[in-house]
Copies of this chain bind each other. A is one copy, B any other.
Amino acid sequence: MNKKGLAILMRTKMRPLSPTFASSKSKLNQMQTSQLEGDKVSSQDASLLPEREFSQVRESMHSAMSTNKTEIVDVALDEFSEGYFFLSPENRYKMLLSLAKEYDLNRTQVRELMKQHLDLQLPSDKAEDSGHEEEGSLSAFYRIERNLRQALKPMYEVLFERLNTHPGGLKFLSDIRADILCLLGDVNIASLRALDSHLKEKLITWLSPANLELHNITWDDPASLLEKIVAYEAVHPISNLIDLKRRLGIGRRCFGYFHPAIPGEPLIFIEVALMKDVAATIQEVLWDNPPISEHEASCAIFYSISSTQPGLSGINLGKFLIKRVVDVVKKDMPNICVFATLSPIPGYRQWLLSKLASSEMTGSAFKEILLRPEEEKALMDASGGSDLGSSGIEVMWNVLTSKNHEWTKSPNLVSALRTPMMRLCARYLMKEKKRGKALDSVANFHLQNGAMIGRLNWMADRSQKGLTQSAGIMVNYIYRLDNIEDSAQAYQNEGHIESSSDFKSCIEDDNGEKAD
């Protein structure tokens, strides 16, 4: 890596957010989207450039779909994708809505074909080889169905398809989808939802694992690529160059999934630590020195997985990435026999706070018993005399909402919180569901991939982020290779969550907890 590369690398985290559409909205991962788009206009500050004419950009969008001459289409696609980025948020909104509404399908034509189909007589149910006669009558069905399939394609699919084979187009489609998702967070418009669902389906096809390349990212890779890793790392931010180098060094791996049409940046990447035992704190993984030599390792710990494209939300590339990485690591190092994660529990603290709040507010008859008597006592003892509250619940609330997580500096509080916090966390992971799936997004991700819950780890992540998300608790999800498929199926079909016996016992203690 040359000096310029290093300088850029170190500046990455400091680049100011550019005033783009996505960053002016709120729903998506703002930092990522705006840094992404920041790249596009890095040589000129977008805010200094004149706003593009809406009508001009719209015209190029229209030609890109309606012309058949490749040269004109190519120019129009360039103009559209360039111009789009310089539109104001309002005009992007107008553009996307115009695409969704005015380039939809021709419903009159669709219904005409439906009527033709319904006018035909269905062949008898017996699907026996009744010879060419029946075949002949089927002919008309096939013809109408083919035409109907065509007619059911909205016109904007042409734009998507042309962008897909146009240089830079696939990335642009992903950026457009990020904007659509942002919008859908604020407004609920049927045609926009349809636009999103079409685009998502197309992206799923184009980004099928068969089209993706796995690359082992190392310190020898170009600075322009490593810069992306720094920028996109979403779980444990990379704080400096030594941090990054360590994550790519001995006992560590970083694998990315790349698409040929989006060179130089992974769509998703995963960071792996090779260790003797399943890591219990992020400290061990990120900072403890020195890492063991690789031939002593028996565990591969996935400690971070980051998607780089907000526009690919809902397209599960991580599942395939993990499978591929397990295969590669197993082949490379047969001594590795445990594949586990060290994962955050992003929704735990928020969930617990809402439980504590409602427990305080509801009448005692229907009050959920969150704390056991011995836990209540321990908490009151630990808070001894301070103004943290007059009940265990109140103490817990005040502790968890204290400024700068000051409770972590009191060994008494840390110790008294441990049992109830771990017990409630296990309940949160195992029992709290949304539409039959784990409420916690990271839990849902690994469980649908076929992992099981292994172990909870107390004070495993003392960073601001870790304390805010889950009061510092982290969890190991275990990928048992002979069970992945069955677990994924059981979770998918029945919402069944597999867990280790340790973890189970923690939950069993929690029985009969509800008042009634």
Contacts and interface: CB of A to CB of B under 8 A. Distances in A.
A284 interface: no
A107 interface: yes
Given A138-B191, A142-B193, A191-B138, A208 B165 contact: yes
A211 B142 CA distance: 30
Interface stretch (A15-23, A112-120, A436-444): A112-120
B138 A190 contact: yes
A234 interface: no
Contacts of A69: 485, 489
A331 to B, nearest CB: 15
Given A102-B127, A127-B102, A485-B70, A145 B135 contact: no
Interface stretch (A55-63, A146-154, A367-375): A146-154
B489 A68 contact: yes
Interface residues of A, number: 51
A152 B141 contact: no
A172 to B, nearest CB: 14
Contacts of A101: 127
A470 B69 CA distance: 34
A127 B132 CA distance: 47
Interface string A459-495: 0000000000000000000000000010001000000
Interface in A170-212: 170, 189-191, 193-194, 197, 205-206, 208-211
A117 B111 contact: yes
A30 interface: no
A190 B105 CA distance: 27
A105 B117 CA distance: 14
A114 B114 CA distance: 6
A39 interface: no
A136 interface: yes
Given A127-B101, A260-B210, A135 B191 contact: yes
A164 interface: yes
A2 interface: no
A164 B142 CA distance: 24
B165 A209 contact: yes
A508 interface: no
A210 B127 contact: no
Copies in the complex: 2
Contact of A210 (B114, B136, B164, B485): B164
Contact of A145 (B115, B146, B152, B211): B152
A122 interface: yes
A139 interface: yes
Contacts of A71: 485
Contacts of A102: 127
Contacts of A117: 110-111, 114
A102 B102 CA distance: 39
A214 to B, nearest CB: 12
Contact of A111 (B118, B146, B205): B118
A153 to B, nearest CB: 8
Interface in A126-142: 127, 129, 132, 135-136, 138-139, 141-142
B142 A152 contact: no
A197 B146 contact: yes
A352 B115 CA distance: 49
Contacts of A105: 145
A271 to B, nearest CB: 25
Contacts of A286: none
A16 to B, nearest CB: 34
A152 B108 CA distance: 18
24 contacts: A97-B129, A101-B127, A102-B127, A107-B122, A107-B141, A110-B117, A110-B145, A114-B114, A114-B117, A114-B118, A135-B189, A135-B191, A136-B190, A138-B190, A139-B190, A142-B190, A142-B194, A145-B152, A149-B149, A149-B152, A165-B208, A170-B210, A211-B211, A213-B260
Q: Which 10 A-B pairs have the closest CB atoms?
A: A139-B190, A114-B114, A142-B194, A138-B190, A135-B190, A165-B210, A71-B485, A135-B189, A149-B152, A142-B190
Given A114-B118, A145-B194, A165-B208, 16 more contacts: A69-B485, A97-B129, A101-B127, A105-B145, A114-B117, A132-B189, A138-B190, A142-B190, A142-B193, A146-B194, A148-B148, A148-B152, A149-B152, A206-B210, A210-B261, A211-B211
